[in-house]
């Protein structure tokens, strides 16, 4: 493939991209939605330019296992260039999309601009702290592999400090974990930390035998896993109670200062580890009219995932909000929606290029699952609810099948099998130190 004329690119501040006569589809984000779209455009008469701020795709559903030392980070991230190496019509550029110039059909990025015939927004979502500066300062979200590594370091560093601290109170503060939000991410993380407490603390941290480790799971609503049927919420509550997780329902955290979480019922929890899984919002890129964003910062799209007021701009996955009778508040922000929208949009773009009618999106819900510890899970599939070991086997199989690459599937299977046999969590290392930075009043600040 010939590269473009570099001088011309430099003059216009453009990203260097090989010339092509085929229509150009520029995609922001290689998450579940963007990557599926790109893969489905293989061998089609289009030039695809994938822009992502990272050089890898991450398998978000297993981030909590990295955060809790269950698996290695490399097992769930995959370089785009390797995934797409056999797809000749794709160009990958690592860059951050910074703005859309709708008048000139051009995307601006941190490394230059790129003109498009079709633009696909698939930049997903970010953690939503709902404007609370103390959460932004002290709360660690879980949205990326770096977040997962930050949580792992935070907890392990605090355990190391607890081991050499003499006062019982200080030991207990350093080894208390507060998880806010009892959706799948919060529940799964609480279960994994509870097993860490049960099987790892007694062996690895004899200094903490008297104080132990306390895990709180705090939810503003009246049940765990609110998107699942009530029966499964109750099962989940039982499983987590068996693992000694302290569950607080109908309670909101008001603030987190220093290592003190203040709740709206007057209770105060002293915890050096504060993990936020209570909200996400769309990840915006400048340049679209503000009217296209809803309150959750998701972009309104029609039934074809087309952005309002833009003929050749589409949004798919978490960032897109498509409303219909079945989903009056938009589709759930889950991987299956993202994958199915990516698949259909690839087909529709080809049809548009060939002047054919396009198909509207119809979501096929394949069910939801969440695991609690290493032998229990809950699942809601085709209107059937079940839990226990069968759900856990199913959860494991579905996640293994979804991981990209045979090598990663094998590595994860070995890790899980080892963990199952030995109750060991092998990846308890602080590779890079975690520190909170910046100013509590201004918010945001992690390294
Ligand atoms: C902890 C956690 C656990 C989850 N577990 C499950 C689960 O078990 N099952 C399930 O179905 N769903 C789960 N989800 C939800 C699921 O991960 C999302 O619905 C899905 O990832 C959405 O896919 P996406 O392609 O829209 O966005 P993402 O997967 O978030 O991908 C967005 C991509 O865009 C890139 N990007 C973002 N901004 C820019 C920019 N400005 N410039 C360039 N690139 C950019 C990012 O690097 C990323 O690669 C979970 C989510 C979380 C946070």
Residues 116 and 261 in one domain: no
In a domain, 24, yes or no: yes
Task: Residue 100: give the domain boundaries.
Answer: 11-53+95-127+281-353
Of ligand 1's listed atoms, the one at least distance from the Cα of 35 is 25
In 295-436, DSSP assigns E strands to: 299-300, 313-315, 320-321, 368-372, 376-381, 384-388
My answer on whether 219 and 318 are in the same domain is no
Is position 83 within any domain?
A: no
Q: Are residues 146 and 234 in the same domain?
A: yes
- Do residues 270 and 386 share a domain? yes
Does residue 350 register a pLDDT over 60? yes
Percentage of residues of the chain with pLDDT beyond 90 = 80
Look at residue 63 and tell me whether its pLDDT is greater than 90. yes
Residue 59 lies in a domain: no
Band (pLDDT 50/70/90 cuts) for residue 5 is low
Encoded tokens for 335: 């991987």
Under the banding of pLDDT at 50, 70 and 90, the label for residue 435 is: confident
Give the pLDDT confidence of 179-202 residue by residue, as tens digits.
999 999 999 999 999 999 999 999
C-alpha dist (Å) from residue 32 to 146, 317, 337: 18, 8, 9
Are residues 234 and 149 part of one domain?
yes
pLDDT of residue 377: 94
Residue 6: per-residue pLDDT: 59
Same domain, 143 and 177: yes
Q: What is the mean pLDDT of residues 310-334?
A: 96
pLDDT reported for residue 447: 35
Give domain status of residue 60, yes or no.
Answer: no
Q: If you take atom 17 of ligand 1, which residue's CA is the nearest one?
A: 60
The reply to whether 271 and 285 lie within a common domain is no
What is the Å distance from ligand 1's center to 57 Cα? Answer: 9
> What mean pLDDT do residues 352-370 have?
95
Say how many Å lie between the CA of residue 313 and the centre of ligand 1.
20
Residue 109 sits in a domain whose CATH number is 3.50.50.60
Residues 165 and 183 in one domain: yes
Whether residues 161 and 242 fall in one domain: yes
Is the pLDDT assigned to residue 440 strictly greater than 50? Answer: no
Same domain, 295 and 184: no
Q: What is the pLDDT of residue 374?
A: 78
Ligand 1 pocket test, candidate residues 37, 123, 282, 315, most atoms within 8 A of CB: 123
Chosen domain end from 305, 330, 353: 353
Query: 269 - beta bridge partners?
Result: 261
Count of the separate structural domains present in the chain: 2
Quick check: CB of 254 below 6 Å from ligand 1?
no
Can you tell me which residue has the tokens 């959750």? 296
Same domain flag for 331 and 400:
no
Residue nearest to atom 38 of ligand 1 (CA): 123
Between the CA of residue 340 and those of 33, 213, 254, 346, 366, what are the distances in Å? 8, 41, 38, 10, 11
Q: Both 230 and 161 in a single domain?
A: yes
Exposure letters 361-379 (e unless 16+ CB within 10 A, then b): bebebeebbbbbbbebbbb
> Is 235 a domain residue?
yes
pLDDT at 425: 66
Question: Does residue 435 sit within a domain?
Answer: no
Q: Which of 301, 326, 353 is the last residue of a domain?
A: 353
Structure tokens at 30: 């290689």
Judge contact between 156 and 430, C-beta under 8 A. yes
Query: Tens digit of pLDDT for each residue in 293-307?
Result: 999 999 999 999 999
Mean pLDDT of the chain: 92
Q: Is 282 in the pocket of ligand 1 (CB under 6 A)?
A: no
CATH number for the domain that contains residue 216: 3.50.50.100
* pLDDT greater than 80 at residue 34: yes
**Domain annotation covers residue 313:** yes
As a whole number, mean pLDDT of residues 61-68 equals 95
Q: Is the CB of 114 under 6 A from ligand 1?
A: no
In a domain, 78, yes or no: no
Would you state the pLDDT for residue 404? 83
279: its two tokens: 């909200």
Chosen domain end from 353, 385, 409: 353
Strands 77-79 and 260-263: unpaired
């Amino acid at each position: 493939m010939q590269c473009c004329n570099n001088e011309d690119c430099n003059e216009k501040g453009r990203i260097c991209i090989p010339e092509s006569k085929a229509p150009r589809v520029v995609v922001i984000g290689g998450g579940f939605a963007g990557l599926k779209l790109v893969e489905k455009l293989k061998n089609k008469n289009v030039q695809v330019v994938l822009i992502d701020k990272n050089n890898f795709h991450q398998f978000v559903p297993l981030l909590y296992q990295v955060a809790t030392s269950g698996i290695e980070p490399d097992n769930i991230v995959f370089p785009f260039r390797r995934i797409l190496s056999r797809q000749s019509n794709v160009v990958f550029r690592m860059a951050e999309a910074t703005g859309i110039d709708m008048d000139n059909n051009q995307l601006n990025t941190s490394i230059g601009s790129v003109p498009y015939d079709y633009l696909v927004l698939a930049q997903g979502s970010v953690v939503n702290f709902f404007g609370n500066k103390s959460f932004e300062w002290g709360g660690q979200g879980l949205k990326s592999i770096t977040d997962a590594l930050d949580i792992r370091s935070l907890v392990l560093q605090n355990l190391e400090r607890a081991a050499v601290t003499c006062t019982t109170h200080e030991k207990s503060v350093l080894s208390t974990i507060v998880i806010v939000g009892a959706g799948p991410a919060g529940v799964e993380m609480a279960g994994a930390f509870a097993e860490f407490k049960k099987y790892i603390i007694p062996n690895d941290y004899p200094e903490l035998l008297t104080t132990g480790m306390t895990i709180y799971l705090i939810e503003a609503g009246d049940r765990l896993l609110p998107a699942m049927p009530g029966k499964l919420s109750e099962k989940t509550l039982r499983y987590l109670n068996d693992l000694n997780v302290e569950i607080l329902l109908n309670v909101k955290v008001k603030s987190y200062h220093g290592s003190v979480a203040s709740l709206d019922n007057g209770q105060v929890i002293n915890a050096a580890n504060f993990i936020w899984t209570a909200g996400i919002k769309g990840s915006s890129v400048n340049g679209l009219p503000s009217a296209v964003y809803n309150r959750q910062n998701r972009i309104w799209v029609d039934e074809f995932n087309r952005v309002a007021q833009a003929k050749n701009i589409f949004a798919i996955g978490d960032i897109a909000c498509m409303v219909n009778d079945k989903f009056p508040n938009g589709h759930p922000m889950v991987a299956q929606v993202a994958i199915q929208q990516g698949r259909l949009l690839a087909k529709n773009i080809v049809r548009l290029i060939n002047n054919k009618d396009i198909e509207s999106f119809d979501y096929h819900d394949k069910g939801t699952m969440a695991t609690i510890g290493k032998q229990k899970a809950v699942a809601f599939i085709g209107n059937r609810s079940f839990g226990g070991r069968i759900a856990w086997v199913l959860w494991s199989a579905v996640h293994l099948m979804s991981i990209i690459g045979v090598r990663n599937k094998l590595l994860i299977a070995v890790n899980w099998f080892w963990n199952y046999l030995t109750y060991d969590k092998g990846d308890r290392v602080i590779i890079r130190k975690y520190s909170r930075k910046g100013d509590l009043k201004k918010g945001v600040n992690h390294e």
